[in-house]
Each structure stands twice: as C-alpha cells, then as structure tokens.
Amino acid sequence: MISCLQEDKVRLQEELNTTESKQQGLGSTPQSQGTTDLEKHLEILVLENDRLKQELNGSQLRFQQFRASLPTCTDCEHSKENSRLREQMTVLQLELEEKTRQLSELEQHLKDVLQDRAEREERLNKRIRDCHLALAKQSTPGVKYMTKKMEVESSRMKQDLEEAQSRNHYLQEQIGIQRQLLTEQEQQLQDSWRASAQLQAQIMMYEAELEQAQGEMLTALQKMEDEKNQAIEEVFQHARSEMKIVHDNLNGVRMNLLSIQPALKTLTSDYNCLKNHVRDFPCLLQDAVSQTKKEIYQAVEEAKEINQDLLRKYKREMQLRKKCHNELVRLRGNIRVLCRVRPITREDGAGPDNRNVVSFDQDDDAVLYVSHRGKTSMFELDKVFQPYALQADIFREVQALITSCIDGYNVCIFAYGQTGSGKTYTMEGLPEDPGINQRALQHLFGEVAERSTDWDLTITVSMAEIYNETLRNLLAKDPSEKLEIKLSPDGSGQLYVPGLIQIRVQSVDDINKVFELGRVNRATDFTNVNERSSRSHALLIVSVTGINLTSGVRTTGKLNLVDLAGSERVGKSGAEGPRLREAQNINKSLLALGDVICALRSKQPYIPFRNSKLTYLLQDSLSGDSKTLMMVQVSPMEKNVNETICSLKFAQRVRSVELGAAGRRVENQHCSSRQECELESSLSAAQQGRHNSYPGGNIVGKSTAGKRRLVASSELNH
Ligand code: ADP
Ligand code: MG
C-alpha cells in the first residue's frame, strides 16, 4: 500500500516536472527568471517604438518650424505633397497607438495567467508536502484513508493538469498570433520609418532651397543696401547744394521782406477795405438779383404779350390764307377741265399716221388746235399742257385742290382719254418721275408736318378697281372678291363700302408699298396689265382726317384719284362677246360720269349718281362743296385724231356746263367734223330741256373770241 502511494507520489512528481519542463520549453519560466523571451522581445519592441515616437515627434517639430519659416504658398507642389505626407503620418500614428494599446493589454493578460499558474503550483507543492507527511506517519487506517484520498485527489490533480495543459496550448496559440501581429506592427513601423525618412529628406531639400533663397535674398538685400547708401549719398549731396541755394534765396527774401513791409501795410489796409466791400456784397447782390428778376419777368410778360399778338395775327393770316385759297379754287370753278397732250415717243414710230395734228396758241395756254381733213378746230379749256410739260408742272396746277382736301373738302381728279394717251403716266408716272398720285401724298405729308402744332392729321389710302361694273378691293388678300356700295346704317345718307381696306401711310416708303400691292393685285386676272388697265377704272382713295388740337374740331377730306378706262369707241368696231360687254360698261360709266357732272353743275334737282358704279361710289366726292378736276389726255398723232377730238369735245362740254353755272362766259360750239361721239350725244341728252338746241358749228379759235357766243348760265338753262 505504502509502496503504491509512493509510486503515485513519484508519478505525480514526474508529471509535475514534465509540466514544468514543458513550460520552460515554451519560454514561460515562472517568477524565478521574471521575463520570458516574449517579454524581452516585447520590451525591445516597446523601446524601439518609444524611440521611433521620439524621432517622429522631433521630425514633426522640425517640420513645423520649417513650415512656419517657409513663405506661404498654398497652391505649390511642395505644399500639396507636404499635406499628403502629413495625413499619412497621422494615419500611421493612429495605427501605432492602437498597436501599442493592444500590446499592453496582451502583457497584462500574460501577467495574470502567470500569476494564476504560480498559485496552482504553490497549492500542488503544498499537497505533495502533506502526502509526504502522511506517508511518514504510516498509520494503517490513516494510510488507507490517505491512500484513498490520494487516489481521489490524484485524479483531480490530473484533471487540473490537463486543464493547465490545454490552457498552455491556448496561450501558445495566442502568443503565436501576438507574434504575427508584432511582425505586422514592425512592418508598419518600418513603413512609417521610411515615410519619416522621406519626409526628412524632403525637409532637408526644402531647407536647402530655403537656404539658397535666403542666400539670394541676402545678396539682393546687400545690393539694395549698397544702392540705397549710394542714393542717400547722392541725395545728401544734392540736398546740401540745394540748401545752399535756399540759404542764398532766404537771404535775398529777407532783404526783400524788409523792403516789402511798407507795401504790405498798404495791402493790409486795402484788404480790410475789400473785406468791408465783400461783407456788403451779398446785400448788393440780392438787390441786383431781385431787380434783374423783375426786369426779366417784365420782359417775359412783354414777350408773352407780343407772342400772343403774333399768334393772333398768325391765326388771322392762316384763316385769310385759307379763305384766299378757297376763293382761288372757287374762282377757278368747282370743276376744272385741263388738257395734257402727250409727246410723240420713239415707240410710236415714224409712219405718215404719226404726224402731229395738234398745235397751240403762243399767247393763250387755255387753247389748242386740232387739224383734221384740212380744217383746224379750236378747243378752249381751263388750261392746256403742251407735250414738254413736266410732271411737276402738272402737279403745281392741282396742288391747291389737294391742299383743300386737308381743309375737309372732297376732291376728285379724273384722268380721261383714249388708251395710250397718257392717263396712267399722268396719274402714276414712272418710279423716277412719279405722277399726281405719289406727289399728292407727298404734298399731304408735308402739309401734315407743317400743321402738326395745331392739327393731328391721319392719312389713309384705299385702292379699288371698277371692271365691268364690279368693284374690287385692290389691297385685299383676295382681290377677286366683289365689293358692294351701301348706304350707311346711321341714317346720315353717306355711302360706305364694307370690306374696302384702308391703310395708314406716313412715308413715301409706305405709299410705294401700297401702290405695289395694288399693282400686283390688279395684274392677277389679266395676262396683259395694260390691256386690263385700259378697260377698268383705277381709284386711289386718300382720306385725311384731322382733329384741331386747340378747338377739338374734326375734319374729314377725301381725295379720289381716278385713272379712267380708255374712252375709245370700241363698240363701233364691231366687237362681240365679253369685249363688247366691257366696251358697253366703259361707255356706260363714262357717260354716267358726264351726266352727273352736267347735272351737278347745272344744279339739277336730280343727279343720276346711280347710273354707274363709278358715280355711285364717288357720289359724296362729287356733290356738295366738292371740287373736281378732269385731266383730259390726248395723243397728238394723226392716227388718233378722231378720239382726240371726241375727248376734247367731252371736256369742253363738261367745262361749258360748269362755266355756265358759275356765271362765266361759255362758248357754244358744234362738231365741225360731225363725229358721232357717243359721249357727245349722251351729254347733249343730259342737257336736254336746258338748252335744247346745242347747235353745231365750226369751232372758233381764240383770235375769234369776240365772235363766240357767250351765254350766261341762265341762258343755258332755257
Ligand atoms: P394710258 O394710261 O392712257 O393708256 P399711258 O399712260 O400708258 O397711257 O401712256 C402710253 C405711253 O405713252 C407710255 O409708254 C407712256 O410712258 C407714254 N407717255 C404718256 N404721256 C407721256 C408724257 N407726258 N411724257 C412722256 N411719255 C409719255
Ligand atoms: Mg393706263
């Protein structure tokens, strides 16, 4: 039994020794040695770490000093590199701190484990000692008990031992991990060391650059110092010489001062005197200003009175002018008949038919002669324009009429004559030499501008065409649309044309645009514009509305500029179909025009306005106070002589009626050539009952005026 116990003891002792030796093998000798290899290694690492930290701190310190000494350049390459390195260093430092913390934790843990193991060993030893004692006593029951106890305890101790072994194993693993961590930390430390070395190298480079810059600066400073000294020296020399001059001057001035003193005294007294004057000056000035103001007010008042007087006189003059103008127009007659003979142009050719048959009276510009079949007929009108007459001459004659349109009168200007006699030339003219239409509007613009201080005047234009007794709007989008003439629904008896476009014009450009539009629209249906224009009446209707700015009086004047269809007698030439219808319509409307004018001038109670579209449309502008001008166009050539005579007869008839109505002399005459003018017969018919016998006879010339039968209107009316 004892031997058995002893065997157990020996075995336990052996196991204990084995454990101890294993522990020694692992490098974990308890307290006797105090530090294991691991601990030593740890200590070395900690020391190394501290050293690195110190070096890093030192580098940082130097780096900060260097940075502080560097000029601030935020954008340069070095600064950027610097900040990047600094960031890296901060990251490394943080990592280092973390590792250090982990290391200290590990150390603490190791210490705890070692202490625990020492305590257990102590307990084990104590138990072995107890066993030894029990063995020594060797009492049988006690031994038995002890043996039993030992058996039990030895198994427990075994268990403890196994636990200690497994713990040892775990600790070994931990130590392995820690070693690995340490290696990584070493690696990181080396990296940070390398970064720090790079930083140091850069710092040194910067220091070198700084030193170089400092050196250059010092050299520059030295140079500047030298220059400064030299400049100071020069200035000093200069100042010294100037000082000398100033001294000399001062001496001179001192001398002068002595001589000036009496003059100064006089000046002082003068100054005091002036001061007194200045003190009194504001009062004097105020008086003068108020006096001048009074005089100015007085002058202004006088000027105002004079102005008002002038204005009164001006207005009176204006009224007189207007009165004179109206009187002039009245004296000329409300219907005037002029004649324009067109020149023979190159286009007319040079055949025997193109001989000139028209001649003029050198002393009377109202007379012209037409030679035909060996006889010469004389025609007297209000004025005759010879072929050389310019567009401006024509316009000068009609200008007064156009002006009266601004004064609120209605005016009609007709161009009458056979096709090719120059109607369109007179009314429209050429772009470089415009006719009545454009000149009239230009004249109106001038008048509008002249009267703009007293009047607000607006000019609008419409363009229309009467073809085959149909009225068409030449400014409309759809010119083929027919227009109707209607009685105004307001009961005023005025006529109006719904849909007739009116365009406001303010400049020659505006006029040209409107005319162009009218021209384009007129040409739409017909292949030949001239053909169309010879068979239709073209109307340019200009309305002038005005408001007097002081009195508020409103005026409306209308100017109708009409290029009539050709007056040639197409009906006689055996035309048929549409051509005949056109001819009939033209004849009808021209006859109606003649009838209306005759009826108007002979003051008949019934005026046949409704006999044609043309007279119906122009009703307002032909009746009442309106003024009419008929420009009869004739060709001077032999081949046109019949038409020329017809046109002139028509003109003369119209004029004779008007002259009769105005109480002026009229000349009765008849067709020498006995031409069968449809117009003539129509006019005769219109005058039937008033002067039944409208005897024919030779046309007498101006030279035979005394022989002419002059009849008063009253005579004509019987
Ligand atoms: P109408 O309109 O009566 O048919 P136009 O005005 O077309 O006649 O004139 C016919 C031709 O005669 C045109 O070539 C025109 O230029 C020319 N003509 C008419 N009158 C004159 C004139 N006073 N001076 C120069 N040429 C004229
Ligand atoms: Mg024409």
Lowest mean pLDDT among 361-365, 532-536, 555-559, 563-567: 532-536
Q: What pLDDT is stored for residue 339 in this prediction?
A: 96
The most confident of the ranges 308-317, 491-500, 633-642 is: 633-642
- Span 202-212, pLDDT tens digits: 888 988 998 99
Give the Å distance between the CA of 646 and the centre of ligand 2. Answer: 18
- Span 615-663, pLDDT tens digits: 999 998 888 778 899 999 999 999 999 999 999 999 988 876 543 332 2
Q: What pLDDT is stored for residue 12 in this prediction?
A: 53
Q: What pLDDT is stored for residue 138 in this prediction?
A: 61
Angle, CA 125 vertex, CA 157 and CA 158 arms, to 5°:
10
Please name which of 618, 483, 482 lies closest in space to residue 541, comparing C-alpha atoms.
618
- Span 243-302, pLDDT tens digits: 999 898 888 888 888 888 888 888 888 898 888 888 888 888 998 999 999 999 999 999
Residue 681 pLDDT > 90: no
3-state helix, strand, coil in the chain (%, to 5): 65, 15, 25
193 HSE (CA, 13 A, CB side): 11
Q: Which residues pair with 631 in a beta bridge?
A: 338, 415
Residue 669 pLDDT > 50: no
Q: What pLDDT is stored for residue 39 in this prediction?
A: 64
Q: Which residues contact 698 (CB under 8 A, 6 or more apart)?
A: 375, 377, 669, 670, 672
CA separation for the pair 571, 557 (Å, rounded) = 37
Closest ligand relative to 422 C-alpha: 1
* Beta carbons of 589 and 583 less than 8 angstroms apart: no
Q: What pLDDT is stored for residue 434 in this prediction?
A: 96
Give the Å distance between the CA of 593 and the centre of ligand 2. Answer: 18
User: Residue 368 carries which side chain, given as an amino acid letter?
Assistant: L
Q: What pLDDT is stored for residue 457 in this prediction?
A: 94
Q: Which atom of ligand 1 is nearest to the CA of 417?
A: 3
Please name which of 476, 455, 575, 584 lies closest in space to residue 520, comparing C-alpha atoms.
476
Q: Which residue has the tokens 């009765």?
A: 668
Give the Å distance between the CA of 595 and the centre of ligand 1. Answer: 27
Q: What pLDDT is stored for residue 500 in this prediction?
A: 92
Q: Which atom of ligand 1 is nearest to the CA of 425?
A: 6
Give the Å distance between the CA of 631 and the centre of ligand 1. Answer: 14
Task: Tell me the mean pLDDT in the region 558-567.
Answer: 93
Residue 527 pLDDT > 50: no
Task: Tell me the mean pLDDT in the region 525-545.
Answer: 76
Q: What is the DSSP annotation of 491-536?
A: SS--EE-TT---EE--SHHHHHHHHHHHHHHHTSS-S-HHHHHHTE
Give the Å distance between the CA of 421 and the centre of ligand 1. Answer: 6
**pLDDT band at residue 110 under the 50/70/90 scheme:** confident
Please, what is the angle between helix 391-406 and helix 140-332, to 10°? 110
Mutate to test the pocket of ligand 1, among 341, 345, 391, 590 (most ligand atoms within 8 A of CB): 345
Tell me the backbone φ, ψ of residue 694, rounded to 5 degrees. Answer: -115, 70
- Span 28-43, pLDDT tens digits: 444 444 446 666 766 7
Q: Which residues pair with 385 in a beta bridge?
A: 340
Q: For the chain, what is the mean pLDDT? A: 79
Token pair belonging to 676: 């069968």
* Beta carbons of 701 and 378 less than 8 angstroms apart: yes
Give the Å distance between the CA of 594 and the centre of ligand 2. Answer: 20
CA 11 vs CA 1, 14, 263: distances in Å: 15, 5, 143
* Beta carbons of 711 and 660 less than 8 angstroms apart: yes
Token pair belonging to 289: 């200003």
Q: What pLDDT is stored for residue 67 in this prediction?
A: 65
Percent of the chain with pLDDT over 90: 29
392: left (phi over 0), alpha (psi -120 to 50) or beta: alpha
Task: Tell me the mean pLDDT in the region 519-529.
Answer: 62
Whose alpha carbon is nearest atom 20 of ligand 1? 422
Q: What pLDDT is stored for residue 445 in this prediction?
A: 95
- Span 577-599, pLDDT tens digits: 777 888 888 989 999 998 888 88
Task: Tell me the mean pLDDT in the region 182-199.
Answer: 86
Q: What pLDDT is stored for residue 492 in this prediction?
A: 72
User: Residue 11 carries which side chain, given as an amino acid letter?
Assistant: R
Whose alpha carbon is nearest atom 16 of ligand 1? 425
Q: Which atom of ligand 1 is nearest to the CA of 428?
A: 6
Whose alpha carbon is nearest atom 23 of ligand 1? 342
Sign of CA dihedral 457, 458, 464, 469: negative
- Span 422-449, pLDDT tens digits: 999 999 999 999 999 999 999 999 999 9
Give the Å distance between the CA of 429 and the centre of ligand 1. Answer: 8
Q: Rounded to the nearest 10 degrees, how much is the dihedral formed by the CA atoms of 680, 682, 688, 693?
A: 20
Q: Which residue has the tokens 């501008």?
A: 449
Q: Rounded to the nearest 10 degrees, how much is the dihedral formed by the CA atoms of 288, 293, 298, 299?
A: 100
- Span 693-714, pLDDT tens digits: 222 222 222 222 222 222 222 2
Whose alpha carbon is nearest atom 17 of ligand 1? 422
Q: Which residues contact 565 (CB under 8 A, 6 or more apart)?
A: 533, 534, 535, 536, 537, 586, 589, 590
| Residues with a CB atom less than 6 Å from ligand 1 | 342-343, 345, 417, 419-425, 534, 633
Please name which of 387, 450, 337, 442 lies closest in space to residue 434, comparing C-alpha atoms.
442
Lowest mean pLDDT among 39-43, 128-132, 330-334, 501-505: 330-334
Percent of the chain with pLDDT over 70: 79
Q: What pLDDT is stored for residue 690 in this prediction?
A: 32
Closest ligand relative to 532 C-alpha: 2
Q: What pLDDT is stored for residue 23 in this prediction?
A: 47
Please name which of 324, 323, 336 lies closest in space to residue 661, comparing C-alpha atoms.
336
Q: Which atom of ligand 1 is nearest to the CA of 418?
A: 3
Residue 454 CB coordination number (10 Å): 15
